[in-house]
Each structure stands twice: as structure tokens, then as C-alpha cells.
Structure 1
């Protein structure tokens, strides 16, 4: 699983073309006002437009179901810009001893979530239309962490008000959308969508409202990034937070796996 993930990442890195172009005011002039405020507040104007990003995680916890305890996991992730792609690798142990590996992939407009025990036993291997939409919307939710994505033709923006903007992704026939919330400083604090499918077991899935929350901005290499990210299902009987992790850094324009 880890080898497959690394091969997929390196293949995408080999296709990434670093242009060394800088973010300019004219690049963001047509974006909704709160999105422009985010670019300025975080310090991207005058910095190089990135072709890819490694999001470096620490202290990541994951909950398989609302009634299950939190698991501490190792989490690795790369996002790519010119052709939208997202690859993530998950490692943990079940009951403290049984190795579990997962690979979350959004590539060529298609999504796949693969999980295995003991490197051989497949727990799940989910693909199809619902997964394509869900992984596309996950990629969209992270577009401002890799803000060159926000300027690509596959993402469109629509103004709402001083603290909200709608974003949509349309790539290879898969469409999804959501609303970003910003505070007055310019920090993006939340992304909410109704276009994500939750696995309900037995090979079925249902659409539910899904929220990603960002907080605790810190400065790294002259750029402000959110250091705490959460993912939450907003269910009819209450919120189900299932992912909570610390971002220690975002490394742009990787040429090889590090």
C-alpha cells in the first residue's frame, strides 16, 4: 500500500511544472472580496504560484464511526494543481497490534478509497460516481491551502457577502460545490457542502452535509496557514467529527518525495 501510494505521488510530481510565476493583484481581482482578503492576509501576493503541495500532518486522530473511539493515525498527503489530484496515505494499528493501511485517491477525475489489514486483507475498496464526487469536493475544500488551485479554470467562484463565497469544481464531468466562510481578518474558517456522500455500510452511501473547519493560523516561511483542521458530518441527530489533525507545514513545489 505504501509503495503504491509513493509511486502514484512520484508519477504526479514528475508531471508538475514549476513556472516561478508570482501571485499578483490582477490574478485575484475577479475573485469574491473575502477570497481576495484571504490571499492578502495569508501573504501569497508576491509569492510563487505553486504546482503541488505536501501537507505535513502531526497529531492526527480519526474516528471510524460515531460510536467508536478515536484512533491515532499517521497521515501523509500531496495535492496537485494543473490537473486536480489529491493522494493521501493512512497508517494505524487496530487494537494496538493489527496494522491498518488506507489510501485515499482523487486522480483523473476519479476517486478511490482503499483500506487493508495486515497488508493483504482488503477491508474496503470504494469507487464509482459517489466517490468521484466526494473526493472532488474534498479537493475543493482544500483549494485555499494550495491557492494556485483557486485560480484554475476547473474552479469557479461566486460572491455571496463579505464573509462567504461559493466555490464549484467541474472536472471530467464531475461537479461539486460548497461555501467557504471567512472571518474579518481574512482567515478561511469553514467549508460546508451538501455534495459529499457518507459511507453507511453494506456498500451503500448517502448524501449528508459535510463541514471542514480551519483554525489556529501560524506563519511558515512568510505565509500564514491554518494549523488545525477538522472534518465533520452534520447529521440529523447531531454532528459527527471524525478527523482532527495538526498541520505543521505545507511544502510547495516538491520535485520528489520527501
Structure 2
């Protein structure tokens, strides 16, 4: 599973191997809604290089497989590519402290896929199809301010709502999803809400469910203020189901020679 992750990341890195030093300018920000512009300015992104391929370095990650199960610790490696919206994540942990399992969650080439294996060889899940494509693209959108160059791409359309809210719609490979981004007085992105993500209790039947992502604990690193805490929540008929939470050490450019 780790080899699969590496091969998929290498495929994306090879597409855009040429480095660019293009920087974020006021011209890039001009078409954006007020709170999104404020995020870039107050976050220190003006004048910084447009990061097109990045590694999200997760420090601590916890996950709940259902509303009634306990939190489990995960080790995560995450890669994002901007020219074509791409997100690939490798996860590993143990069930009950005894049985190792690995997962690879991705949106690549316009398709989503969640692959999980137990004891390295036993398939547990291999979710794919329209609902997975939609849900995986929503995740790319929700996390776009981790790699803010996403927000400048033509495949994301922005609509101004008010001084602290902006609507974003991402369209790729005939899939379109939308959501609302909320910001605080400091221009920091605080949470994202959408009705375009699919929920499944057992992995067989899917229905659209309100879903949100929350960001916080902004810290300044190398002149940029970035969120270092992120969590995801399903808003079900039975109540809120928070199933993912993690802390981020850094988001940095990734080159093929560094991948192992």
C-alpha cells in the first residue's frame, strides 16, 4: 500500500517536474471575494511562490470508524497537486493494537478511491464510483487553504457572500461541488460547510449529508500564518459525528527526489 501511494505520487510529480518561481500578486487576488483576499494578505502569502505540489506533514491524527467506536491513532502521509486537483493520502494503524491495516484515499485524474487492506493483503474496502468521486473532490475543496494556490485556479469559481463568508464551486471532469467558507476578523479560514458530500454507514448505500471541516490554531512559520489543526464532522439526523482530527507540522513543496 505504501508502494502504491508512492507510485501514484510519482506519477503526479513527473507531470509537473519543472520548477516555477511564479509568485502570488495583487493581480491574482483581484477577482477573489473580500474574505479570501484578506486570508492571502493577512496570512503572508503575497509575494510567496505559488506552491503547485505539496506534502502535508501530519503530526498527530485520530480517526473514528463509526459514531460509537473509540478514537484510533493514524500515521498519515498526504500529497496534493494543484494544476489538476489531486489529493493522495496514505494511512496506517492497528485495530485493537493487534491487527495492522493500511489505507489509501485519493482523488486523481477526476476519480476518487478509498482502498483499505488488513494485514497488508486482505481487502476490506475498495470504494469507487460517482459518489466517491464527488466526496473526494469536496475534500480537495475543503482543504484548499492548506495549499492556497488552489484558490487561484480556474476550476474553482468564487462567489462573494459577505465580509466573512465566500462560496466556492469546484468543477473537474464533469463533477461539480460547492461549499461555504467562513473566516474570522483576522482573515483566518475557520470552517467549511457543504451539502454535496455522500455518507454511508456500511459502505453500500450512499446519501448526501451535511458535512463540515474546521481549521484552527494558526501559527506563523517562515512568514506564513497557517492552520495547524483540522477536523471533519458529519452532521447526521442523530447528531454530529466528528470522525477525523489532526495537527499539522508543515505544508511544504515536494520534489520527486525527496519521495521514499
TM-score range, shorter chain: over 0.9
Give matches, 1:162-181, under 5 Å.
162-181=163-182
Equivalent runs, 1:125-144 vs 2, <5 Å: 125-144=126-145
Q: TM-score under structure 1 normalisation?
A: 0.98
When residues 202 and 91 of structure 1 are mapped into structure 2, their CA distance, relative to the original with a 3 A threshold, is: closer
Aligned residue for 1:15? 15
**Cα deviation per residue 1:175-220 (whole Å; 9 max; x = unaligned)?**
1000000001000000110000112215111111000000000111
Tell me how far 1:221 sits from its aligned partner: 1.4
Q: Deviations over 1:220-239 (max 9, x none)?
A: 11111101000000112211
**Distance (whole Å) between structure 2 residues aligned to residue 60 and residue 83 of structure 1:** 26
Name the counterpart of 2:99: 98
Whether contact under 8 Å (2:33, 2:166) holds in the other structure is yes
Q: Against the structure 1 CA distance between its residues 126 and 202, is the aligned structure 2 distance closer, same or farther, given a 3 Å change threshold?
A: closer
Aligned to 1:77: 78
**1:66, CA displacement in angstroms?**
0.2
Aligned twin of 2:188: 187
- How far off is 1:254 after superposition? 3.0
- The superposition leaves residues 125-182 of structure 1 with CA deviations (integer Å, 9 ceiling, x where unpaired) of 0000000000001001111111111111111100000000000110010110000000
- Larger mean CA deviation between 142-151 and 60-69 belongs to 142-151
Q: Indicate if the aligned counterparts of 2:219 and 2:225 stay in contact, CA closer than 8 A.
A: yes
- 1:109 CA displacement: 0.7
SS at match of 1:138: helix
Output aligned runs, 1:60-71, within 5 Å. Answer: 60-71=61-72
Aligned pairs (5 A) from 1:89-238: 89-201=90-202, 203-238=204-239
SS at match of 1:200: coil
Equivalents in 2 of 1:254, 1:38: separation in Å? 27
CA contact (8 A) 1:212 1:231 kept: yes
Deviations 1:80-99 (A, max 9, x none): 01011100001000110111
Q: Distance in 2 between matches of 1:184 and 1:253?
A: 32
Separation in 1 of the partners of 2:48 and 2:33?
20
* Number of aligned positions between the proteins: 258
- Unaligned 5+ segments in structure 1 are none
Distance 1:200 1:237 in 2: 12
Shift in CA distance, 119/11, structure 1 to aligned 2, threshold 3 Å: same
Q: Is the 8 A contact 1:18 1:50 kept in 2?
A: no
Tell me the secondary structure at the aligned position of residue 7 of structure 2: helix
CA apart distance, 1:18: 2.7
Structure 2, unpaired ranges of 5+: none
**Who is 1:28 aligned against?**
29
Contact 2:104 2:114 in 1 (8 A): yes
Matched residue SS, 1:66 = coil
